[in-house]
Structure 1
Amino acid sequence: MNAGDDYRGLAWAHGALTVQRLGAMLAPVTFILEDGRQISPMHIAPWSNEPQAQALPGILRKLRGEWPCVPFGYSVPADGWPEDWARAMGPPESGEEIHGHSSNHEWTWRPSSRGSLSLTLTYPEGSPVEHVERTVRPDPLAPAIDIVLKIVVRRACRLPIGLHPVFRLPFETGAATLQFGGFDEGRTYPHDVEPGAALFARNKTFFELTAVPSRNGKAVDASRLPLAAATEELLQIEGTDGAAALVNHEEGYRVDLSWQKEHFPSLLLWYSNRGRKAAPWSERHLAIGIEPICSPFGLGPATALADNPIAQSGIATALEFSPEKSFVTRYRIEASAL
Structure 2
Amino acid sequence: MSIHGIAADGISVGLDLEVGHLAVLEVDSDGRRLSPLHKAPWVGDPEQDFPPGTAPNVRHLSGDFFCAPFGRSDADCGDPGPAPSHGWPANSAWTVLRSGPTPSGAEAVFRLDRRVCGATVEKTLRLLHGHPFVYQQHRFIGGEGAISAAHHTMVHMREGGDIAVSPKLFAETPADPLEPDPSRGRFVLAYPATTPDLHAFPLADGGTADLGRYPPGDRHEDFLTLAEAPGRPLGWTIVSRRAERDRVLVLKNPAVLPVTMLWMSNGGRDYAPWSSRHAGVLGIEDARASPLGHADSIRPNAWTARGIATAFDLADGGAIVISQVIGACAMGEGEGAVRAVSVEGDKVIVSCAGGLSRRLPFDPEFLAGQAASKLG
| TM-score, normalised via structure 1 length | 0.86
User: 2: distance between equivalents of 1:252 and 1:208?
Assistant: 27
Counterpart mapping for 1:236-247 below 5 A: 236-240=225-229, 241-247=234-240
> Which of 173, 197, 204 is the aligned partner of 1:215?
204
> What SS is found at the alignment partner of 2:124?
strand
2:99 maps to 1:104: no
User: Where does residue 180 of structure 1 map in the other structure?
Assistant: 165
Q: Which runs of 5+ in 2 are unaligned?
A: 332-376
- 1:157-192 CA-to-partner distances (Å, cap 9, x unmatched) read 21111111111112x2xx311111221111112112
User: Where does residue 82 of structure 1 map in the other structure?
Assistant: none
Letter in 2 for 1:63: L
User: Where does residue 176 of structure 2 map in the other structure?
Assistant: 191
Gap change, CA 1:21 and 1:53, over 3 Å in 2: farther
Gap change, CA 1:122 and 1:154, over 3 Å in 2: farther
User: 2: distance between equivalents of 1:323 and 1:72?
Assistant: 21
Q: Which runs of 4+ in 1 moved over 6 A?
A: none
Counterpart mapping for 1:227-266 below 5 A: 227-240=216-229, 241-266=234-259
User: Where does residue 136 of structure 2 map in the other structure?
Assistant: 147
2:260 maps to 1:267: yes
User: 2: distance between equivalents of 1:265 and 1:129?
Assistant: 25
Deviation at 1:31, TM superposition (A): 1.1
Matched-pair contact (CA < 8 Å) for 1:53–1:61: no
User: Where does residue 10 of structure 1 map in the other structure?
Assistant: 6
> What SS is found at the alignment partner of 1:135?
strand
Deviation at 1:53, TM superposition (A): 5.7
Identity %: 27
Cα RMSD after superposing both structures: 1.9
Moved more, 281-290 or 321-330: 321-330
Matched-pair contact (CA < 8 Å) for 1:184–1:239: yes
Matched-pair contact (CA < 8 Å) for 2:188–2:203: yes
User: 1: distance between equivalents of 2:49 and 2:153?
Assistant: 21
Letter in 1 for 2:92: H
User: Where does residue 63 of structure 2 map in the other structure?
Assistant: 65
Deviation at 1:117, TM superposition (A): 2.0
Matched-pair contact (CA < 8 Å) for 1:14–1:31: yes
Matched-pair contact (CA < 8 Å) for 2:157–2:243: no
Q: Which runs of 5+ in 1 are unaligned?
A: 76-90
Matched-pair contact (CA < 8 Å) for 2:13–2:24: yes
Matched-pair contact (CA < 8 Å) for 1:186–1:207: yes
Deviation at 1:323, TM superposition (A): 4.9
User: 2: distance between equivalents of 1:221 and 1:129?
Assistant: 43
Count of paired positions = 311
> What SS is found at the alignment partner of 1:184?
strand
- 1:105-152 CA-to-partner distances (Å, cap 9, x unmatched) read 01111113521222101435xx52321111112221222111111112
Matched-pair contact (CA < 8 Å) for 1:45–1:285: yes
Matched-pair contact (CA < 8 Å) for 2:9–2:128: no
User: Where does residue 30 of structure 1 map in the other structure?
Assistant: 26
